[in-house]
């Protein structure tokens, strides 16, 4: 039976983190089950871009610090790795991400090695989802003796939820991510491609940083929510089924997780997952805000009426007052739909992947209805249904 451990952890204070991480791993069989002295252990973080830890969009560097200390004490060699999304001046902002996030500082202070996946070479694998003949994944994922996946608990404006399963998309180095995303534009298709990654790499442990989580329009433009939890599992899908349940969602409502289920990446039935630690069922996170997309498609939200209005689609649009002209959105768009000078989006080419919204560091790419009247009516309806039916 798949196991998910949930531990309370109110903040990123080092002693508390250490105590709760040690207790969580113990309930999965203890560190000796996973690592031994001399092993190269890769901590696969979520470094979506050059963001600071207070934004709740990246794995918190203190979380990584504590794990590094624990593993170093056990005689392991620790690597910290990822590849960020998007591009600035033709390159992925991973190096800047390591610097801005504080992860580089942690690595320096704790004696770990930074593995920028964009610069470490690739291993060719053969995927089965049919979108590519060959897929290229970051070499450290194969060179490490043991990999620990460290996702963040976040909502996702396009994919609804992002956690352990989606975090391995960062194993695709640099700009290839956008190229692959163009071939698998919607969440279901992207999920099948990410399942290929899970099938080709060997991740032994998944540990979710949900001390702070992101609510609303994640994975970068949402708001911080103090969830105060750490989740542990050897099964990424089981962990996400529990994570999504904490946000009040079923796996059937998260297309990317349905792809993981289809490809048998792990356990998808909540009633077949043993939950232990500080809880024996998924704890509720009161007042947690889900993305607009989920609120407008959730069953029971008077879907006929809401869908009529949703015929006028939600689309990304650049707010010129907030835009800093960094061109991250322009260079990251997988179909080059954003004009460099005016930041005008060509909706006839746009595949609605929402990468521009996800990657803009200044929250300048907003998700709006095409028609201002529909936008206003939808918001009124959401407010009405929320106050009467939730
Ligand atoms: S919208 Fe955001 S990502 Fe695009 S150019 Fe402006 S600031 Fe940069
Ligand atoms: S403009 Fe459309 S296709 Fe391009 S990144 Fe934004 S949502 Fe994706």
> The domain spanning residue 364 has which CATH number?
3.30.70
Instruction: Give the pLDDT confidence of 70-111 residue by residue, as tens digits.
Output: 999 999 999 999 999 988 777 889 999 999 999 999 999 999
**Looking at the structure, do residues 298 and 226 belong to the same domain, yes or no?**
no
Residue 105: its pLDDT value, please? 98
Is residue 326 lining ligand 1, measured as CB closer than 6 Å? Answer: yes
Model confidence at 390: pLDDT above 50: no
Q: Which atom number of ligand 2 is nearest to the Cα of residue 336?
A: 4
CA 334 / ligand 2 centre spacing (Å)? 7
Closest ligand to C-alpha of residue 355 is: 2
Residue at which a domain ends, from 228, 253, 277:
277
**Looking at the structure, do residues 87 and 214 belong to the same domain, yes or no?**
yes
**Looking at the structure, do residues 138 and 230 belong to the same domain, yes or no?**
yes
Any domain includes 282: no
How far is the C-alpha of 163 from the C-alpha of 200, rounded, in Å? 19
Is residue 238 lining ligand 1, measured as CB closer than 6 Å? Answer: no
Determine the distance from the C-alpha atom of residue 219 to the mean position of all C-alpha atoms in its chain, rounded to a whole number: 7
Is residue 385 lining ligand 1, measured as CB closer than 6 Å? Answer: no
This prediction's pTM: 0.87
Residue at which a domain ends, from 234, 254, 277:
277
Whichever domain contains 146, its CATH number is 3.40.50.11440
How far is the C-alpha of 338 from the C-alpha of 12, rounded, in Å? 39
CA 319 / ligand 1 centre spacing (Å)? 9
Report residues whose beta carbon is within 6 angstroms of any ligand 2 atom: 316, 333-335, 337-338, 345, 350-356
Instruction: Give the pLDDT confidence of 321-369 residue by residue, as tens digits.
Output: 999 999 999 998 888 999 999 999 999 888 888 889 989 999 999 987 6
Residue 298: its pLDDT value, please? 60
How far is the C-alpha of 222 from the C-alpha of 90, rounded, in Å? 26
Residue at which a domain ends, from 244, 277, 310:
277
Token output for 103: 């992860």
Contact (CB, 8 A) for 76 and 112: no
Among 260, 227, 222, 267, which Cα is nearest to 246's?
Answer: 227
Is residue 87 lining ligand 1, measured as CB closer than 6 Å? Answer: no
Nearest CA to ligand 2 atom 4: 333
> Taking the CA atoms of the chain, what radius of gyration do you get in angstroms?
20
Any domain includes 284: no
Any domain includes 286: no
**Looking at the structure, do residues 158 and 255 belong to the same domain, yes or no?**
yes
Average pLDDT, the chain: 91
Residue 315: its pLDDT value, please? 87
How far is the C-alpha of 322 from the C-alpha of 387, rounded, in Å? 31
Nearest CA to ligand 1 atom 2: 360
Domain total of the chain: 2
Domain range for 340 is 292-389
**Looking at the structure, do residues 325 and 241 belong to the same domain, yes or no?**
no
Instruction: Give the pLDDT confidence of 118-166 residue by residue, as tens digits.
Output: 999 999 999 999 999 999 999 999 999 999 999 999 999 889 999 999 9
CA 173 / ligand 1 centre spacing (Å)? 22
């Amino acid at each position: 039976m798949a196991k998910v451990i949930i531990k309370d952890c109110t903040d990123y204070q080092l002693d508390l983190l250490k105590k709760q991480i040690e207790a969580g791993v113990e309930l999965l069989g203890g560190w000796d089950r996973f690592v031994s002295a001399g092993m190269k252990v890769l901590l696969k973080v979520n470094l979506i871009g050059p963001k600071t830890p207070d934004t709740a969009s990246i794995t918190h560097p203190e979380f990584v610090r504590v794990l590094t200390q624990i593993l170093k004490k056990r005689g392991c060699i620790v690597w910290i790795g990822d590849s960020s999304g998007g591009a600035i001046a033709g390159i992925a902002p991973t190096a800047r991400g390591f610097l801005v996030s504080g992860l580089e500082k942690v690595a320096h202070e704790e004696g770990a090695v930074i593995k920028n996946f964009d610069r470490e070479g690739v291993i060719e694998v053969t995927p089965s989802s049919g979108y590519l003949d060959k897929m290229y994944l970051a070499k450290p994922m194969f060179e490490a003796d043991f990999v620990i996946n460290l996702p963040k608990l976040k909502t996702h404006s396009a994919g609804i939820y992002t956690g352990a399963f989606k975090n391995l998309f960062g194993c695709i180095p640099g700009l290839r991510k956008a190229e692959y995303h163009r071939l698998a534009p919607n969440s279901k298709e992207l999920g099948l491609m990410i399942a290929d990654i899970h099938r080709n790499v060997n991740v032994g442990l998944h540990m979710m940083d949900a001390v702070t989580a992101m609510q609303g329009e994640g994975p970068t433009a949402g708001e911080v929510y103090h969830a105060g939890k750490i989740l542990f599992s050897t099964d990424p899908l089981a962990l996400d089924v529990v994570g999504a349940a904490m946000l009040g969602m079923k796996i059937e409502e998260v297309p990317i997780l349905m792809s993981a289920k289809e490809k048998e990446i792990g356990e998808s039935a909540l009633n077949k997952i043993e939950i232990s630690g500080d809880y024996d069922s998924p704890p509720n996170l009161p007042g947690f805000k889900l993305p607009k997309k989920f609120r407008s498609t959730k069953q029971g939200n008077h879907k006929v009426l809401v869908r009529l209005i949703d015929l006028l689609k939600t689309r990304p649009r650049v707010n010129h007052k907030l835009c800093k002209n960094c061109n991250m959105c322009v260079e990251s768009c997988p179909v080059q739909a954003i004009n460099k000078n005016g930041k005008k989006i060509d909706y006839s080419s746009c595949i609605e992947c929402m990468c521009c919204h996800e990657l803009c560091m200044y929250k300048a790419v907003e998700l709006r209805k095409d028609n201002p009247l529909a936008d206003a009516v939808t918001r009124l309806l959401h407010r009405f249904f929320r106050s009467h039916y939730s």
